[in-house]
Amino acid sequence: PPRDADAVLEGLDPEQREVALALHGPVCVLAGAGTGKTRAITHRIAYGVRAGILQPASVLAVTFTNRAAGEMRGRLRQLGAGGVQARTFHSAALRQLQYFWPRAIGGEVPRLVERKVQLVAEAAARCRVRLDRNELRDVTGEIEWSKVTQTVPEEYPVAAARAGRQPPRDAAEIARIYAGYEELKRDRGVIDFEDVLLLAVGVLQDRADIADQVRAQYQHFVVDEYQDVSPLQQRLLDLWLGDRDSLCVVGDASQTIYSFTGATPDHLLDFRARHPGATVIRLIRDYRSTPQVVHLANGLLAQARGRAAEHRLELVSQRPAGPEPVYAEYADEPAEAEGTARRIRELLDSGVRAAEIAVLYRVNAQSELYEQALADAGVPYQLRGAERFFERPEVREAGLLLRGAALANRVGTQPAGGATAADDGDLPSQVRAVLSSRGWTPEPPAGSGAVRDRWESLAALVRLAEDFARARPDAGLADLVAELDERAAAQHAPTVEGVTLASLHAAKGLEWDAVFLVGLTEGMMPITYARTDEQIEEERRLLYVGVTRARRHLGLSWALARSPGGRTGRRPSRFLNGLRPGSSAPGGGRPAVTGAGHGAGVERGTAPRRGRRAPVRCRVCGRTLTDAGEIKLMRCEDCPSELDEALYERLREWRADRAREL
């Protein structure tokens, strides 16, 4: 480690140095992605500590994820400033609660409820509502959403309707369960994840002695990713600070992607108004990405609207030139996944490490195709923030059922002496029949959430059977089971170092040499459910976050149809208009590189279906439509157009992140 404090400043540019040296009074750093905000605040703390200005134990650095906090602690140690607290709001709040609970409330330190869903089930039973496993998860999700948005039970029906949620049950029923759940928690002396921040705020507000003690401990605060701070987190921060202003915040309004949790860039943008004496520093040098990637990021932001966009700063790359971003159009989604896997293989062969590559998508449901394609290509990978396809409980259960059915087939056909006679219909029909015996329907359930997720997983399994049957027309159920085993084994292979598969939300703050942004079609990016201008702008920011994760290689792709032979006519994301080559005139031009023609049908050895009219599929769930009215709508009657899966998805990711932290 460097020997004196000044050595810590060496790795910083002049503006970053200003950040590091501004150790007194409020400081706000407004800067774009990759400009070294996280680096600047880390060095700032290290400089302060080594110069003797900051006591390590008196500094509280707040980051957005546990992973980021861990990275910061490691970096601080390297810079000779170990002992500084780097935490998320939640883990900092939890620690304080645990410390002060006996004095503030008395009695036992509250435990975090371990089996929350169980408790919700009990609350439901008391309300005489019977919920199946999936409904239970969804109701739990609704309760969590309510708490994150500070909605009390009585307000739930109105708030849920206003937010366009699709509760799995009658809203009044959920409100009663929610109230019952809160009561049960109180009775048992347990708290849940969402209670942590609420309680910490409560204690600091009500107990001046405790607030004083916390303030005596922490003198100096640093907050990363400040654009995504929620009003509740801001309140906690204010309580920590008291009447002091020794606070440094850094953020990028153009990366606000958690508005659904109540996050707003207003706290960042209004910082100077709240802290009149604040030092405001802007960084524009981008150290992460090549000029090619930065050019695209700037182009994306140039089209942005709204308050965050008014404060955008044009980034200037500090890196040597690299390859142009590669735009690729594919015939269908499997082809897109295979094409992406092929490009990843090429990168690996050219010496890029797997850990330096990421595939980023809009919703976790998109992972399956990529898991499969990478497994097929023998590429190790790891998922962030979601379960692998073959590890999902419904998929495992379905696998067991199919195995049982295959066995019954074999035993059943032997006496008759005839090969694949006890079977009913072709392979996909058999699979559908087996799944139907457990309540699966070819029609998707209404609404979003766990019930829908489970349906989607099983629908993916049916599609897999369809593809398999097309590739191997003679195959039976036993062959399919063997195929599933093989695929599962390939996907289960433990990875030491693999390509990262993650949603765009989970990629925040991270970087890779090569990033593939996939599924960039209208409907996915922006996602169908983003309707208002603000929602569309948040989708654009999400894409900006994705683009700016890449150091050097950037792939952007989309598919014209969902499955081989499926209805084509999907369009590339509107956000790429004017950016991808030849796209300035709507509908015109060709992308620089196109993967079209490498269709999965060809690559997988399945014969393209000819002479059949491509079926019209529901644009929400993908089901083949037969009803004339539905075909006109291009979605199932029961697929709600207002479905807010995007919100749910993000909420779930946010929760998963928080859950991991604890």
Cβ 545 to Mg ion, closest distance in Å?
A: 11
- 32 assigned ligand-binding residue: yes
- 322 assigned ligand-binding residue: no
Which H or E element spans position 451?
Answer: helix 450-471
Cβ 65 to ligand ATP, closest distance in Å?
A: 11
Cβ 377 to Mg ion, closest distance in Å?
A: 32
CA dist., res. 572 & res. 595, Å (int): 14
SS (H, E, C) 533-598: HHHHHHHHHHHHHHHCCEEEEEEEEEEEECCCCCCCCCCECHHHCCCCCCCCCCCCCCCCCCCCCC
- 83 assigned ligand-binding residue: no
Cβ 252 to ligand ATP, closest distance in Å?
A: 5
Q: Using CB under 6 A, list all residues that contact ligand ATP.
A: 11-13, 16, 31, 33-39, 252, 255, 287-288, 509, 511, 548
User: Which residue's structure tokens are 């191997």?
Assistant: 472
- Binding-site partner at residue 39 among ligand ATP, Mg ion, none, CB < 5 to 8 Å by type: ligand ATP
Q: Which residues contact 405 (CB under 8 A, 6 or more apart)?
A: 430, 434, 477
Q: Which is nearer to ligand ATP, 508 or 570 (CB)?
A: 508
- Binding-site partner at residue 36 among Mg ion, ligand ATP, none, CB < 5 to 8 Å by type: ligand ATP
Cβ 514 to ligand ATP, closest distance in Å?
A: 15
Q: Which is nearer to ligand ATP, 34 or 572 (CB)?
A: 34
Contact assessment for residue 437 and residue 401, using Cβ atoms and an 8 Å cutoff: yes
The residue type at 595: G
- 304 assigned ligand-binding residue: no
Q: Which is nearer to ligand ATP, 29 or 618 (CB)?
A: 29
Binding of Mg ion at residue 476 (CB under 5 A)?
Answer: no
Tokens representing 228 are 């995504």
Cβ 9 to ligand ATP, closest distance in Å?
A: 10
Cβ 34 to Mg ion, closest distance in Å?
A: 8
- Binding-site partner at residue 13 among Mg ion, ligand ATP, none, CB < 5 to 8 Å by type: ligand ATP
- 592 assigned ligand-binding residue: no
- Contacting range for Mg ion; rule: CB under 5 A; set: 253-261, 295-303, 506-514, 630-638: 506-514
Q: Where are the alpha helices (DSSP H) in 360-392?
A: 367-376
Q: Which is nearer to ligand ATP, 96 or 255 (CB)?
A: 255
Contact assessment for residue 450 and residue 141, using Cβ atoms and an 8 Å cutoff: yes
Q: Which is nearer to ligand ATP, 258 or 455 (CB)?
A: 258
Q: Which is nearer to ligand ATP, 252 or 649 (CB)?
A: 252
Cβ 37 to ligand ATP, closest distance in Å?
A: 3
Q: Which is nearer to Mg ion, 63 or 91 (CB)?
A: 63
Binding mask 14-53 for Mg ion (x = CB under 5 A): -----------------------xx---------------
- 37 assigned ligand-binding residue: yes
DSSP annotation string for 313-366 = ---EE-SPP-PPPEEEEEEEHHHHHHHHHHHHHHHHHTT--GGGEEEEESSGGG
- 38 assigned ligand-binding residue: yes
- Binding-site partner at residue 354 among Mg ion, ligand ATP, none, CB < 5 to 8 Å by type: none
Which H or E element spans position 281?
Answer: strand 279-283
CA dist., res. 316 & res. 421, Å (int): 69
Query: Looking at 509, 526, 555, 565, which residue binds Mg ion (CB under 5 A)?
Result: 509
**Cis geometry, peptide bond prior to residue 526 (ω within 30 degrees of 0):** yes
Question: What does each C-alpha distance from 586 to 349, 559, 598 come to in angstroms?
Answer: 37, 18, 25
Q: How many CB atoms lie within 10 A of CB 633?
A: 17
Contact assessment for residue 249 and residue 279, using Cβ atoms and an 8 Å cutoff: no
SS (H, E, C) 165-225: CCCCCCHHHHHHHHHHHHHHHHHHCEECCCHHHHHHHHHHHHCHHHHHHHHHHCCEEEECC
Q: Which is nearer to ligand ATP, 18 or 245 (CB)?
A: 18
CA dist., res. 54 & res. 375, Å (int): 50
List residues binding Mg ion (CB under 5 A).
37-38, 509
Which amino acids are annotated as binding site, given as ranges? 31-38
